[in-house]
Each structure stands twice: as C-alpha cells, then as structure tokens.
Structure 1
Amino acid sequence: MQTKSFLYFIAILAVIALILYLIKIPKRRRRAKLYTSNFPESWVEILNNHLPLYKVLPTALQRQLHGHINIFLAEKNFVGYNGIVINDTIRVVIAAQACVLLLNRKTNYYPYLTNILIYPRAFTSVNPDGGQHKARLGESWHRGPIVLSWQHSKLGGNNNHDGNNVVMHEFAHQLDQENGPSDGLPILQHNNIKQWSSILSKEFKSLKVKAKLKRKSLLDKYGATNPAEFFAVITEHFIEQPRQLHKKHPELYAELKKYYQIDPIQWIE
C-alpha cells in the first residue's frame, strides 16, 4: 500500500513538472526570438554615446549584450515620476548596465522584477511607518521594483572607472534577492558556498574595521553597512575598477570572476 502511495505521489510530481515545463516553453521561444532580433542602430548610438564600457567590450560580448537588452526591454516596465518622460535613452542606458551583470551566465532576467521607477534626480524614500529616509540614488525591493535616479544612472554609465554605478549596485541586489531577502549570498552557480562565504566574510569584516578607524580603502565604505551592501559595492568595483580590485583584493576578485563568469581586466588590456 505504501509503495502504491509513493508511486502515485511520484506520478503527481512528474505531471506537475511536465505542466511547468510546458508553461515555460512559450517564454523560452519568445526570448530566443527576441535575443536574435535586430538591435536598432539608434540603440547602438545610445550605447556608444553614454556607455564607455560598451566600447571596450569584445564584439562577442557586445552581441550578447544586444540580445539581453532586447529581452530585458520587452519584459520590464519603466515608469517615470516627478515629471520625467521615459524615452529610449533612459531605457537602453539602464538596461545595458543591468545586463552587463548577465553576460556569459545562464539567466532568468531578474525574474521577480517587473517595474523600474525612474526619478529625474535623487529622491526621498518613505518607510512604511511614515519615517523619511535621506535622499537616495537608488533602491531595490525584494520581489518588488527598482527605483533609480536618472541623473545618477546616467553619470554612473558615463564614468566607468570610478567604482560608482548605482544601476549595477541595485541590480546586484536583485541578483542577491533571487533566493530570498538580501544577505550577500546570491545563487552560486559554481557551487562553492563555503569558499564564497569565507572570503567575503573576511573582506567584509576588514572593511568594517577600516570604516570604523577611518582608514583608506579602495572599497566604498558604504559596503561596510551589511553583507548585502558589501556584495553590491564590490560588484561596482569589479566591473569598473577590475585592475585595482585584483591588486588589492585578489581573492575577492577571483570569487566575483567565478560568480559573474566574466573577467573585466581583459576588456581594458
């Protein structure tokens, strides 16, 4: 009797798995079509004018980025606030920076993100209890929207050497939030959670000490806030200051290289 019940249970699971698989087929086909669709020349011009990082990417990664942007813009909704009018420049510049984090990796395109809220400049967020925060440049909500200042999103894209990129920072949070609330531990495809946790924990503690003692550090001291902010901050440095990060924090660079499946040092050599 128990054997029959077990087999019945397995059969139900198999049916559910098949249904879920069939449901996903249209999405995969749609994405495959979008990925290979024509990438408008006007969008290439936007990338060349606003993202110096795009121009140093190898041709193969540029093409990959085009496909990711096509899918991203088809699936994400941009909403303007405080009078800002959403246009292709805003959409493409933000999408490109977000999709750099997806290069060379199996991705589901920030699956829990639907809406991206854009303010003209820094904005003030409000707590659920009504208490106001200081002015913010960006926010990422677990299973919710991303909020961005266009002024700072554009500045971050135009300067790809200062280690400050609000778009990549907030989208790193989204990657972190794919397996639960932000904790600095995203879904690790290289199956080395122990090593990741050990190295990032050590580096995080070191940054906290430097922040407390007001010592110099390559890493933005905001990363000492908590492990989630640390992951977002080191992502910015990894993409924009790879040589410096590799020199000062080689173990950290190696872990990020394994996670993101890219080596930004090669782009600038």
Structure 2
Amino acid sequence: MFAFFKQKKREQLREMLLPADWLEIIARNVPLYRRLPEPDRRELHGHVQVFLSEKHFEGCGGLEMTDEIRLTIAAQACLLLLHRETDYYKRLITILVYPRAYVAKGVESLGGGVVLEGSQARLGEAWTEGVVVLSWDDVLRGAADIRDGQNVVLHEFAHQLDQEDGLANGAPILERRSSYVAWARVLMDEYEQLREDETQQRRTVLDTYGATNPAEFFAVATECFFEKPTQLRKKHPALYAELKSYYRQDPEQLLAAAESPCLFPGQEVS
C-alpha cells in the first residue's frame, strides 16, 4: 500500500511545472541541460520535482542552502535517470554540501602492503549509508565546463547507481541478467587497460583516477561519457556502447544536435 501511494505522489510531482526562475537557474548553471531536446527537458523537470521532494539537502561549513544549490545538483543527478525505470537513488537520503573542497579522514593504499592514513581534501564522496557529500564550488566548476570530462555530481551519483545493490564494484543494476556478462567483460578489460596506461604514463581520454578500482572506473567513465562523448566513442567504442545501453542516451548525438540549431528549432545552443 505504501508503495502504491508513493508511486501516485511521484506521478503527481512529475506533472507539476517547474517555476520559471527555477528553469532559469538550471539553464544557466547546467550547460548539459541546454543540449537536451524538449521532451528530455520535460522528463528531467519531472525527475527534479521528485528528487527535491524526497531528498534532504543540508549546508555544511557555514554554507546556507538555497534553491540554486538544490536545483543545480538535482538537475545533474537526474540527468543520469532519463529514459529509464528509476527508484530515484533509493538508498540516498541526504546531500551534504560544503562551500568548497573539504577535509576528511581517509586511508590510501600505496601498494606493497603500505597504507597511508591521514586527512585528505575532497571534492565529493558517496557513502553507502545514504549520503552524498559535495563541494559547491566544484559542483559549479564541474557543471560549467562540459568538455573536460570532470563533473563531481555525475561522478558521485554514478557511485549511487553502482551502490543500489549494496555493493560498490562498478556494476550497477542492469535491466537484463544476460547483460552482466558483456558489462563485466568490457568494463574490466577497459579498467585493466587504464591501469596499464597509467603505469606507462600514456595519455588517456579517461581520467586515470578511474584506475583506482572498478567503482571509480565506472564513475569516471560516466563523467567522460556525458562530457567527452566523441573522444570516448572513438578511443573506447565498446565501453561507449555499454554506457549508451545502460543510460539509454547518446551524448555524442546530443552534442551534434546542439551544434546544429536547425535540428531543434528554438533550442538554445551551448
């Protein structure tokens, strides 16, 4: 019964229009939004309504929470949900936002059994216990440059998708059981290749932070998929195909459309 009423409420929220000033914030702060065709924008608006209704935002380190912060984060997080059945990051409860990079205790393996413990500056992190932590400065910076392959919101919310089954292993829940074999083969091959590229100090399309572990590889690949789609497809066609199938989106096509205004009359070009 609870699930029925929850679904009805979500349907009602998705039908609500976003206020004009909210739309202006999203269009200004999230250039990826400006690439979307109108049907995708409308779908995103509905997801944002649900996300804002169900998730709690909290400012940390003296940051005062505003609609701009909530909308800028929500719009990017919901970009990962387009065209798919979604439970809106079912494990996520709270988004903590710091004004800038924050310091947290961490443990880093240096190899050979050597472990470094201490404080580390972080831009964001995703906990399995229902929390995402973000730096507002870096949220804005990552959203503004849509060609550098680095977006902290996409990164941390990819982790949330990965962790929906309770494990952070680079394997999100897939629609069909038969898809896991190809997913594991392609992503593991690409992950091992990135590790080798990092060791050999080769230039890569993917950020070498993805060589840390399979979970970080999936998050880094997600950032690259949405922000550097053409480069990713050319250098890593199998990886691009797996991400395209999972996200049910083709960012390269959207990029081409955004650069050809005649395809979407009236659409703003980024």
Q: What is the correspondence of 1:65-76 to structure 2 with a 5 Å cutoff?
A: 65-76=44-55
Q: Are positions 1:54 and 2:54 aligned together?
A: no
Structure with the bigger percentage of strand: 2
Are 1:117 and 2:103 an aligned pair? Answer: no
Matched, 1:157 2:136: no
The one of the two structures with greater contact order (alpha-carbon pairs below 8 A, sep at least 6) is: 2
Q: What's the offset of the Cα at 1:205?
A: 0.3
Please report the TM-score for the alignment, with normalisation by the length of structure 1. Answer: 0.89
Amino acid of the structure 1 residue aligned with 2:123: L
Query: In the alignment, what sits opposite 2:18?
Result: 39
Aligned length in residues: 246
CA contact (8 A) 2:101 2:122 kept: yes
Q: C-alpha displacement at 1:43, in angstroms? A: 0.9
Secondary structure of 2:32 counterpart: helix
Larger helix proportion, structure 1 or 2?
1
Q: Which runs of 5+ in 2 are unaligned?
A: 108-116, 257-270
TM-aligned CA deviation for residue 124 of structure 1: 0.9
Shift of 1:181: 2.1
TM-score normalised to the size of structure 2?
0.89
Give the partner amino acid of 2:140.
K
Q: Determine the structure 2 residue equivalent to 1:138.
A: 124
Contact 1:110/1:174 (<8 A) preserved: yes
2:59 to 76, 80, 103: 80
Q: Which runs of 5+ in 1 are unaligned?
A: 1-21
Distance 1:143 1:164 in 2: 25
Q: Tell me, in whole angstroms, the C-alpha distance in 1 between the residues paired with 2:51 and 2:2.
A: 20
Q: Which residue of 2 aligns with 1:177?
A: 163
Task: Please tell me the residue identity of whatever aligns with 1:82.
Answer: G
Report the counterpart of residue 267 of structure 1 in structure 2. Answer: 254
Conserved 8 A contact 1:124-1:132: no
Which residue in the other structure is 1:256 paired with?
Answer: 243
Q: Output one character per residue of 1:243-265: Cα deviation in whole Å (capped at 9) or x when no partner.
A: 11111100000000111111111
- Is the contact between residue 31 and residue 143 of structure 2 (CA under 8 Å) also seen in structure 1? yes
Query: Within 1, Cα distance between the matches of 2:13 and 2:130?
Result: 24
SS of the equivalent of 1:170 reads helix
Structure 1 runs of 4+ off > 4 angstroms?
none
Gap change, CA 1:127 and 1:246, over 3 Å in 2:
closer
Cα offset, 1:126, TM superposition:
2.3
Please list the CA deviations of residues 164-200 of structure 1 after superposition, one character each: whole Å capped at 9, or x if unmatched.
0000100000000001220001101143100110011
- Give the AA of the match of 2:55: K
Q: Superposition RMSD on alpha carbons, in Å?
A: 1.1
Q: Aligned-pair distance for 1:214?
A: 1.0
Aligned residue identity for 1:266: Q
Measure the CA separation in 1 of the matches of 2:82 and 2:168. 22
Counterpart AA for 1:60: P
